[in-house]
Structure 1
């Protein structure tokens, strides 16, 4: 497969899965009733931020796939994606900030592990995950705050 097709496939799959997860696990009325911390971002911000992050996640995945598809970094990349897709059902569908916190903290560990492992294979791929790590760290803090407040 030509590299450009690999990039396109990874981006389309990651963005598509992220959008699908968001559509089938909306925040709903339950979330609206929860107490939120003062630093909770406005709802409109999550879509653009996650879309940009999903594009970077896709590009990073494609870069590693093209260089080392059977590597530990690639396995961790798939693992973090699964955890990413599990957070919305855990938090919103099951209405469980506690389970959401377990998932988001596991995701943060996986994202950091990918950064470390990918750096040996492709520095750009690891750098593409830095904003993702920052956002997931923030999401973990937000999730923890909602758990404490409710």
Structure 2
């Protein structure tokens, strides 16, 4: 039963991640000024695949435990904002709005981590790398906004 539940959570993660395929970075993103510490392109899909496995494991662990309602609600919220950021940033090219979305994503990941942790320590720990990555992504979004003020105002 655990592995079936894991597959359901993993499918939700892959669904959110599929927005990356629908709204790929393309020339617009390549032409933006980015900070020197921007990770190379290959890092993003590798990192997200590892994170999605961790996120699905955390969700599946807590889904089968009692008193999991708050944690599951936060898990659902964070995956919704996870899937929203890519279309806003890459699809709509709304750098400022994407900053707001990633801010809500960061907060929802933190709250999910805390809620998971209260039900299962390992599940909470599985969300720590995700929070670190979203923190990096938030800083990158902010730096792109700062380095490209005309582009941020144009869209």
1:25 corresponds to which residue? 23
Q: Distance in 1 between matches of 2:12 and 2:94?
A: 27
TM-score of the superposed pair, with normalisation by structure 2: 0.90
Alpha-carbon contact 1:21-1:85 (below 8 Å) kept: yes
Alpha-carbon contact 2:12-2:79 (below 8 Å) kept: no
1:10 corresponds to which residue? 9
Q: Distance in 2 between matches of 1:64 and 1:99?
A: 32
User: For 1:55-110, what per-residue CA distance to the aligned partner results, in whole angstroms no more than 9, with x for missing partners?
Assistant: 11111111121114761111000000000000000100010111111111111101
TM-score of the superposed pair, with normalisation by structure 1: 0.93
Alignment of 1:38-117 (within 5 A): 38-68=36-66, 71-117=69-115
Listed as ranges, the gaps of 5+ residues in structure 2 are 149-155
1:134 corresponds to which residue? 132
RMSD: 1.3
4+ aligned runs moved over 3 Å, structure 1: none
- Report the number of matched residues: 148
Listed as ranges, the gaps of 5+ residues in structure 1 are none
